[in-house]
């Protein structure tokens, strides 16, 4: 499930593979750009912005892609067999003389002028892994709507960019509150910790192949994906329920003992089996 750290890793792979080299091939398998040919243009850089990827190309162009839930960029050596899914799932190909980047299941593929990037990412809040990170502004954004559920406020990329459903659940656990707690009810001492804790989690994981929030050798995450297994702290079964506005509900995990605050009303739909299987532990 792509989050800020995953996107940061994808940007680094693309940058290391393509930056500074002329393209020998480009192939955009979306109708709007099917005839575009960027061969001969040099790739300047790839940078992440929240969950967006911006690949800047000579001539003032930027390729904007977004992974959302299932997208992925894979990088292969020249002549290497592509492995990332069936050919019909490929949405973009960028190749140099020695490396090929293949974008699978990308829901967003857009070419724009580099000068227009703000149109795409200008609405985002401070980026947890970016040079614009501002913890004070991020916290103020989260608390600006005090009646909004904390989990929803954390997922809103306009507040701070980079948190997805995994970190939403883990952050709320580490803060000791449920994701359904109104943001304005977050105790002041925990609110002060929120921006720094979020940044530390993403920074610690941007170079890891598997996310780790517990610091424990046998367990990767405290609550996400663990229902109905025991909480690692108190052994109460971890619970899972949907959180969202109905149009975009997401499975949300919490410990009813370690985390204080509101929880879904009795009788609301709850998932007692993990929808997103993870490795044991």
- Model pLDDT for residues 118-130, shown as the tens digit of each residue: 999 999 999 999 9
Q: How many CA atoms lie within 13 A of 273 on its CB side?
A: 1
Query: What is the chain's mean pLDDT, rounded?
Result: 92
Q: Band the pLDDT of 2: cuts 50, 70, 90.
A: confident
Q: What is the pLDDT of residues 146-175, one digit of tens each?
A: 999 999 999 999 999 999 999 999 999 999
The answer to whether the beta carbons of residues 96 and 19 sit under 8 Å apart is no
CA 276 to chain CA centroid, nearest Å: 16
pLDDT at 206: 93
pLDDT of residue 279 exceeding 80, the answer is: no
CA distances from 250 to 164, 224, 263 (A): 10, 12, 14
Q: What is the pLDDT of residue 245?
A: 72
The band of 264, judged by pLDDT with boundaries at 50, 70 and 90, is confident
Contact status, residue 27 vs residue 93, Cβ threshold 8 Å: yes
Mean pLDDT, rounded, for 206-221 = 93
Q: What is the pLDDT of residue 276?
A: 38
Please provide residue 220's backbone torsions phi and psi, each rounded to the nearest 5 degrees: -85, -50
Residue in this structure with the two tokens 């804790």, named with its chain if needed: 197
Spatial separation of the C-alpha atoms in residues 178 and 172, rounded to whole Å: 6
Model pLDDT for residues 235-259, shown as the tens digit of each residue: 999 999 999 876 678 899 999 999 9
* CATH numbers and ranges of domains, the chain: 4-121 (3.20.190.10), 135-254 (1.10.8.50)
Query: Looking at the annotation, which residues are catalytic?
Result: 2-3, 51, 250
Instruction: Give yes or no for residue 231 having a pLDDT over 70.
Output: yes
Q: What pTM did the predictor assign?
A: 0.89
Q: DSSP string covering 41-107, please?
A: PBEEEEEEETTEEEEEETTTEEEEEE-TTT-EEEEEETTPPP-SS-GGGEEEEEE-SSEEEEEES-S
Q: Helix or strand or coil: residue 170? A: helix
pLDDT of residue 75: 98
Cα separation values, 192 from 52, 104, 143, 195, 258, Å: 27, 39, 11, 7, 19
Q: For residue 277, what pLDDT is reported?
A: 39
Q: What is the pLDDT of residue 190?
A: 97
Give residue-wise pLDDT tens across range 94-148. 999 999 999 999 999 999 999 999 999 999 999 999 999 999 999 999 999 999 9
Higher pLDDT, 216 or 249: 216
């Amino acid at each position: 499930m792509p989050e800020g750290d995953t996107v940061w890793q994808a940007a680094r792979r693309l940058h290391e593979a393509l930056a500074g080299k002329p393209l020998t091939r480009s192939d955009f398998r979306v109708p709007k750009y099917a005839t575009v040919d960027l061969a001969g243009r040099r790739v300047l850089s790839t940078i992440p912005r929240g969950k967006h990827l911006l690949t800047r190309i000579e001539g003032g162009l930027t390729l904007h892609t977004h992974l959302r839930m299932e997208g992925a960029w894979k990088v292969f050596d020249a002549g290497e067999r592509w492995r990332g899914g069936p050919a019909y799932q490929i949405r973009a190909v960028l190749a140099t003389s020695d490396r090929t980047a293949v974008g699978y299941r990308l829901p967003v593929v857009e070419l724009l002028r580099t000068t227009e990037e703000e149109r795409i990412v200008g609405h985002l809040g401070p980026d947890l892994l970016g040079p614009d990170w501002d913890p004070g502004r991020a916290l103020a954004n989260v608390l600006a709507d005090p009646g909004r559920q904390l989990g929803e406020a954390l997922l809103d990329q306009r507040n701070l960019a980079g948190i997805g459903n995994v970190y939403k659940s883990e952050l709320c656990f580490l803060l000791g509150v449920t994701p359904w707690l109104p943001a304005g009810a977050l105790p002041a001492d925990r609110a002060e910790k929120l921006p720094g804790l979020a940044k530390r989690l993403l920074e610690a994981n941007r170079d890891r192949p598997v996310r780790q929030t517990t610091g424990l050798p046998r367990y990767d995450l405290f609550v996400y994906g663990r229902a109905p297994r025991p909480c690692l702290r108190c052994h109460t079964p971890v619970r899972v329920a949907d959180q969202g506005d109905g149009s975009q509900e997401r499975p949300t995990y919490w410990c009813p003992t370690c985390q204080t605050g509101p929880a879904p009303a009795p009788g609301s739909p709850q998932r007692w089996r993990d929808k997103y299987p993870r490795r044991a532990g």
